[in-house]
Structure 1
Amino acid sequence: MTQAQASTSPPSLEELQHWTWVLGRAQQMMLEHGFDQWSQATAGSSAAGLMDPTPMLRASADFWADTMTLWQRFLDPASAEPVTETPERAKDRRFRAPEWREDPVFDFLRQSYFLIADHLVKGVDALDGVEPRQKEQIRFATRGFIDAMSPTNFPATNPEVLKKIAETRGENLLKGLQNMMADLSKGQMTHTDTTAFEVGRNIATTPGKVVRRTPLYELIHYAPITKQVFETPLIIFPPWINRFYILDLTAEKSFIAWAVEQGLSVFVVSWKSADATMKDVIWDDYVELGQIDAIDTVRELLGVEGVHAIGYCVAGTTLAATLALLTARGQAERVTSATFFTAQVDFSQAGDLNLFVSDDQMNLIQSLSGEGYLDGRYMAATFNLLRGRDLIWNYVTNNYLLGQDYVPFDLLHWNADVTNLPAKWHRSYLTDLYRDNLLVTPGAVTVAGTPIDLTTVKTPSYIQAGREDHIAPAESVWKMTHHFAGPLKFVLAGSGHIAGVVNPPAAGKYQYWTNDSEVGSLEEFVAGATETKGSWWPDWIEWIAQTAPGKVAATGARIPGKGALAAIEDAPGSYVRTR
């Protein structure tokens, strides 16, 4: 038959029997695993008689009932009740091709995939006698398996790929193979056109100078464009697991350029990507020799008592420790205000990243850190796994199966621009914070020999979380409000870990929520919150202006390289280019 004839032919009885067998065998495998877990958990236990296999048996019965309903629907579609899909399923981009609904065979494939996906997750929920953490690991692995086994990931079961094969006479597969081989050679999946962007050329172009370089960071001072600037300068600490220019992408998306336009004297720390010389670097160094050193450098350069400080993600966690350390030393005034972008201090609900701190994971990290640093590609792969459907399988289909050209996208270019991490620091960060959650226990963590206590921090703080953040869940970021003692403002932004932060006002995208009432939980915050359309950046700069309204002329040391620190080179500097 031709492709067109095949796509309109009804499924044969043999085909339906085959797919029913596939679904049944998958369910059987799931049940066998569940009963194995149950038997291991109860073996030799006095509670063995209390373990109830009924949920697993009920899951099996429900699965077969739903399978028979699906089979009957396709054997006799005229008599079947219409299928009601959830909004999430209806908008699933993997199945956007019309064949997934118009062709009986592909529609059967799609619905059978959703059916088994639902029951696989239900099967995990039905496991009894399994520790909660282990169940979460099984659930995460199951979701990953479900995404991997989507019929869209295989040429023979994806109508778009079959059509492309017919149109190109298979050349799409050759091009896709070329893309895959290139990715294998560099050990990293490609998401965007690697030639489209270059730091200093069309991203990270905000004018400025590098005014300090240490073995750990470069300090960039950006040129003012207003006649007057706020007297209190701003210093930004981006996460050292990524390049700083997430906050200085194209001119239209740059938070740094926007902050300069608002009249702030802006400084940014550009962290060095780790190499063998940084094998002994620990978290204390990022606090003492990184953040505090940079804060003092800016204070002395401009002759000010304090600075506004921003900490993004892990740099926000470290900024919290910095505030506690300065407070313990009687130097809290050195930071006038602190802003936290999607940062966590309490890791009890830190999301799926908590699943990557087992002993096996720690041993793997150690084995990959032979020269004292962890290759950034490992962390990139870990973050990709958290959103495997979007950041892995989407590109398997588009780039390997369909052989499509890579689309230029500045955000994905940044995402692939990985940095290496000091292994000793990284391991302690995962164990002390993610696994053991020591930071929120007063005195459990010391920095430079000083025990720190977050509850002593009274620095005015602006805490921003992303409603759909999968790296630092909003509920986890909210917990910061339970530990600081100072005046706090919590803002919940639309979107996630990146787009929720990098959302310029001119784009007119998303929204944010504020609530001035005293509430005890994120749920209460949301229930009484006021929604504002667009970016939260204007709300933040209004808060900054209220915190420290004084202005000075943008002259002298406010011009990069014109004060006590001579310019070393133009922004974005050298460290951001180090691979």
Structure 2
Amino acid sequence: MDGFAKLMQFQAEAARDMFGQFLPGAGAEPPKVPDINHWTELGGRVNAMWTDFLRHQTDKARDQAAAFDPAQFATLMQGWAKSLPTVDMKAQQKAWGEGLAIWDSVMKGFTGRGDEAGEASEMPKTDRRFADPAWRAHPAYALLHQMYLMLSEYWLSTVDSIDGLDREQRESLRFATRAMTDAMSPDHFLMTNPVVLEKTMATGGENLVKGLRNLIEDLKKGQLTHTDPDAFTLGENIATTPGKVIHQTDLYQLIQYSPSTDSVLEVPLVIFPPWINRFYILDLTAKKSFIKWAVDQGITVFVVSWKSADESMADVVWDDYIRAQIEAIDHVRERLGVPAVHTIGYCVAGTTLAATLAILARRGEADRVKSATFFTAQVDFEKSGELKNLIDDQQLETVAKLSPQGYLDGRYLAATFNMLRGKDLIWNYVLNNYLLGEDYPAFDLLHWNGDVTNLPAKWHGDYLRNLYRDNKLVVPDALRADGTPIDLTRIETPVYIQAGREDHIAPAESVWRFTRHLKGDTTFLLAGSGHIAGVINHPDAGKYQYWLGDSGADTFDDYVDGAEEHPGSWWPHWVEWLRAIDDAEVKPAGKRRPGGKGDKAIEDAPGSYVKTR
């Protein structure tokens, strides 16, 4: 403990000397540094916290092995980190020359200030991770982050210069290299981050104690925390749209929402959210809820709430999800006495909805679905983006080993998706939560993002192999489900396809390719933002924009070139499209009001499945 105390005091004194001279606004009196006794006491608290954590983990392992092991996730990631770029001498010489130029530029910024002494100098390279003036206030930190940025560019450019790689190999290596360089950033370490050192001096190290507490809590639950875990409660301040669970199976609950208008569209809407997440992404706070907004537009809305997988679902496959979609459609038709329903499929549930439509068409039952809307859903995976870098034979074999009980722990999937935006969803929180010890924000979308869902292992493996890796869904009759071959070209149902321009999970061009496999009337819309914010964009927010163009264009680029930009949310355009298909209205009586007289409901929305962990 004496070693820790001496190290912290030495580092604090060194930082005081640096910042006292260079930081903007620093006065003549240098910042006070706690004495050795303070750091000794702090070290004792840190040691006690860590000892308690190790004891907790030992007791937990003795009682029951944890389902999620971070070390196993690290093994999973090794599949794409196959190798680093081979050193190219010419590129190395260029990097050396650029490094000398950066050194010269940085040092000139400090030695040639003249009247500008004390002001942070401009740097040759910029990055928002190093926007704080502290990174430019002292030559050591200025040079450190500038050399890091230069070397990061060097490694990525080396990947581009390697001969003999096909496109997928190069993209996979770029992904691995970028992940590596992101992890090595100097802002992730106490001794190389002047902002953290400032905070440590200012708080006497209390930020590190709080950060360690945050780290321990995350290690206990096996998941990075993004938001205040106590800020939201389902049914109280999130997922609050009034409704009832009116049907339930071992795989899903079917929720019907109470009408809020004097008349409603005769054709109801059945929404299939992705089973890799909780359905309430569509029912966040009232000012963001798509479900509430749709109900207020006079639509009778039903939503499927998928069950998080457990050992009982070890044999669940794609056929089961397709049968569930058909069953939900038929249940709503029978319940309301209507011949057809409108449908929405979000992300992977949209992929399954496409297969469902193809099966109904093959069986001569396509008229059960009046229209189908797809939110950021892929069916053609040829250009499926960075996720494809995580899927090869070695990865699939590793994933199978992570699911000995027949289901994949949702924390693995969450960590994988976080890897796609490592700077924003991992390292930003490592800095803020563990080093700076900041309070967690209360953010409903991030709360949902951390509310993970387990997946049936058998179906998850088939999905990765048959769709992502082998792209079989767009090959007529290459796949079948529930005994029926799947041919997307048989779909003649009116289709509305929404994509997010900045979507990193389902890239817009990949979503666009669905239009190439349909025969019926198709409307493609490109929304601003990404996989979530591009979809969840309430009109009252006045945010983002959307583009409309020729849905029959030959290529995605042709669509974009000819598209017209419109401000705000795309939701009103969608509801106009829906009404244009069938605008007949009825009074919301009888079973249009779930749980009313003569209608026995199972429980109130949001139901119990969404709360199962």
TM norm structure 1: 0.89
Aligned partner of 2:280 among 241, 245, 250: 245
- Structure 1 residue matching 2:370: 3-state secondary structure: strand
- Structure 2 residue matching 1:76: 3-state secondary structure: helix
Question: Aligned pair 1:58/2:87, yes or no?
Answer: no
Deviations, residues 125-166 of structure 1 (Å, cap 9, x unaligned): 111223433322221111111111111111112121011100
Q: Which residue number corresponds to residue 27 of structure 1?
A: none
Gaps of 5+ in 1: 11-29, 37-55
Q: Which residue number corresponds to residue 152 of structure 1?
A: 187
Q: Which residue number corresponds to residue 502 of structure 2?
A: 468
Change (3 A) 1:145 1:263: same
Whole-Å separation in 1 of the counterparts to 2:359 and 2:307: 23
Deviations, residues 533-556 of structure 1 (Å, cap 9, x unaligned): 111001111111111111111111
Aligned partner of 2:237 among 199, 202, 206: 202
- Structure 2 residue matching 1:124: 3-state secondary structure: helix
Change (3 A) 1:175 1:531: same
Question: Aligned pair 1:354/2:366, yes or no?
Answer: no
Q: Which residue number corresponds to residue 70 of structure 1?
A: 102
Question: Aligned pair 1:123/2:158, yes or no?
Answer: yes
Q: Which residue number corresponds to residue 441 of structure 2?
A: 407
Whole-Å separation in 2 of the counterparts to 1:540 and 1:563: 33
Aligned partner of 2:607 among 544, 561, 573: 573
The equivalences for 1:251-266 within 5 A come to 251-266=286-301
Whole-Å separation in 2 of the counterparts to 1:211 and 1:217: 11
Question: Aligned pair 1:383/2:395, yes or no?
Answer: no
CA contact (8 A) 1:445 1:451 kept: yes
Q: Which residue number corresponds to residue 176 of structure 1?
A: 211
Whole-Å separation in 2 of the counterparts to 1:303 and 1:362: 45
CA contact (8 A) 1:199 1:572 kept: yes
Whole-Å separation in 2 of the counterparts to 1:261 and 1:35: 59
The equivalences for 1:298-337 within 5 A come to 298-337=332-371
Q: Which residue number corresponds to residue 7 of structure 1?
A: 19
Change (3 A) 1:534 1:356: same
Whole-Å separation in 2 of the counterparts to 1:329 and 1:35: 55
CA contact (8 A) 1:494 1:512 kept: yes
List 4+ stretches of structure 1 deviating above 6 A.
82-86
Question: Aligned pair 1:502/2:536, yes or no?
Answer: yes
Whole-Å separation in 2 of the counterparts to 1:2 and 1:158: 13
CA contact (8 A) 2:408 2:454 kept: yes
Aligned partner of 2:305 among 266, 270, 276: 270
1:79 deviation in Å? 7.7
CA contact (8 A) 1:97 1:159 kept: no
CA contact (8 A) 1:301 1:565 kept: no
Whole-Å separation in 2 of the counterparts to 1:392 and 1:57: 34
Q: Aligned AA for 1:365? A: V
TM norm structure 2: 0.84
1:185 deviation in Å? 1.0
Gaps of 5+ in 2: 1-12, 23-80, 114-120
Deviations, residues 24-59 of structure 1 (Å, cap 9, x unaligned): xxxxxx9x95448xxxxxxxxxxxxxxxxxxx3332
Whole-Å separation in 2 of the counterparts to 1:234 and 1:271: 17
1:558 deviation in Å? 0.7
Whole-Å separation in 1 of the counterparts to 2:547 and 2:280: 26
Equivalent residue pairs, number: 535
- Report the more deviating stretch, 445-454 or 321-330: 445-454
Q: Aligned AA for 2:569? A: S
The equivalences for 1:359-378 within 5 A come to 359-378=393-412
The equivalences for 1:463-542 within 5 A come to 463-516=497-550, 518-542=552-576
CA contact (8 A) 1:324 1:454 kept: yes
Deviations, residues 155-194 of structure 1 (Å, cap 9, x unaligned): 1121210111001111111111111111111111111110
- Structure 2 residue matching 1:203: 3-state secondary structure: coil
Q: Aligned AA for 1:545? A: R
Q: Over aligned residues, Cα RMSD in angstroms? A: 2.0
Q: Which residue number corresponds to residue 98 of structure 1?
A: 133
Q: Which residue number corresponds to residue 425 of structure 1?
A: 459
- Structure 2 residue matching 1:138: 3-state secondary structure: helix
